Structure 1
Amino acid sequence: MIRRIVTLLAWIKTEEGKKAFRYSLTSVISAVISQLAFLALYGLSILGAKYSSISATLIGAVPSYFLNRYWAFEKKERNHFFSEVVPYFIMAVLGLVASTWSSDFADSHRSIVGNSRLAQIIWVDGAYFGAFAVLWVAKYFFLRKFLFGRDQKKSQPVVDTSN
C-alpha cells in the first residue's frame, strides 16, 4: 500500500501526472459548482429537473474551461475561439444533453424511491451527477489530445540513435 502511494506521488510530479491531477481537481471544483447550482434550483423547486440540469451545467462549464485551460493544461497564449472554445463548449453540450436526459428520466421515475422529497432530490441529483461521471475520463483524453495538449512538447530534443 505504501509503495503504491509513493509511486502515485512520484507520478503526480511528472508532467502527465501533474496535468491529470490538476484536471481531477478542476473537475471536482466544477462538479461542486454544478452540484450546488442543481441542488439549489431543483431542490428548492425553482426549476424542474430538465432546466435545473441545463442551468447547472452551463454555470459549471465556464469555470471548468478556464481552470482546465490555464491551470490544468497550463496554456498561456491567446484563446483560439474556433479551435478551443467552440470544441470545448460542444463537449460541454454533450455533457449537458446526457445530464439533462438522465436527470429528466430520473425525475419522471422518482416515485421509485418513494414519496420523500429528500430521497427524490438525491435520486435525481445522482442521475445528473452520474451522467458526468461516465463522461469524465473520455473528456480528459479529449482535452489532452485535441484541445489543450496538442501544441505542447513540439520542441522536444531529437535523440540520435545512429551511433
Structure 2
Amino acid sequence: MTEIVAPFAQRYGRLLRYAAGSVVATVCSEVALIAAYGLFDADAQAATVVGWVAGAIPNYVLNQRWAWRDRGKSDKPLTEAAWYWGVTAVTATLAILATSGVDSVVSGHITGRGDRAVLLGGVYLAVYGVVFVVKYIIFDRWVFGRTPEEA
C-alpha cells in the first residue's frame, strides 16, 4: 500500500507547491503589469514584458528549489533552464499577443487608463490560467525531471 500512496502524496504535494509558487509569481506579475501600464504609461507590450519578468524569476526559483525539491540535483542544469525559459517565453508571447490585442480593441471604448490596466491584468491572468496545467505537465515530465524512484 505504501508503494501506491507515497508516489501519489509526493506528486500531490509537488502540485500544491507548484500552485503556491504560481500564486506568488502571479501576484508579482500582476502588480508589475498594472503599475507599468496604469502608473508609468508603458504600452501593453512593454507592460506585459515587465509583468512577465517580475513573475518569471521568482517562479523559476520557487519551482526549481521548492516545488520539485524532492527530485534531487539536476545533472543538466543548463538544459533544465533552457527548457524552463523556452516554455515561459512561449507563454509570455501568448500574453503579449492577448494583452496587446485587447488593448487595441478597447482603447477607443474605455478611456480611463486605470480601467484598461485592470482589464489587461485580467487578460494576462486568463492567459496564465489557461496554460497553468500545461506548464505543470511540461515542467514535471521534461524540465525539472523525475526522481529516480519515479523513472
TM-score w.r.t. the length of structure 1 is: 0.79
CA contact (8 A) 1:26 1:67 kept: yes
Considering only CA atoms, is the larger Rg found in Structure 1 or Structure 2?
1
Separation of aligned partners in 2, 1:39 and 1:114: 16
C-alpha distance in 1 between matches for 2:58 and 2:82: 15
**Alignment-mate amino acid for residue 82 of structure 2:** V
Tell me the residue number matched to 2:37.
Answer: 42
What displacement does 1:89 show?
0.1
Whole-Å separation in 2 of the counterparts to 1:91 and 1:20: 18
RMSD: 2.3
Higher relative CO (Cα under 8 Å, sequence separation at least 6) belongs to: 2
Q: Runs (4+) of structure 1 moved beyond 4 Å?
A: none
More helix by share: 2
Q: Structure 1, unaligned stretches of length 5 or more?
A: 1-9, 156-163
Q: Structure 2 vs 1, CA of residues 79 and 97 (structure 1 numbering), >3 Å: closer, same or farther?
A: farther
Counterpart of 2:125 in structure 1 is: 129
Match of 1:116 among 112, 119, 125: 112
Q: Which shows bigger deviation, 94-103 or 71-80?
A: 71-80
The Cα shift of 1:143 comes to 0.8
Distance in 1, matches of 2:23 and 2:9, equals 21
Which residue number in structure 1 is paired with residue 15 of structure 2? Answer: 20
Indicate whether 1:61 and 2:56 are aligned: yes
**Structure 1 residue 112: deviation in Å?**
6.8
TM-score, length of structure 2 as denominator length: 0.85
- What is the deviation of 1:95? 1.0
Question: C-alpha displacement at 1:111, in angstroms?
Answer: 3.9
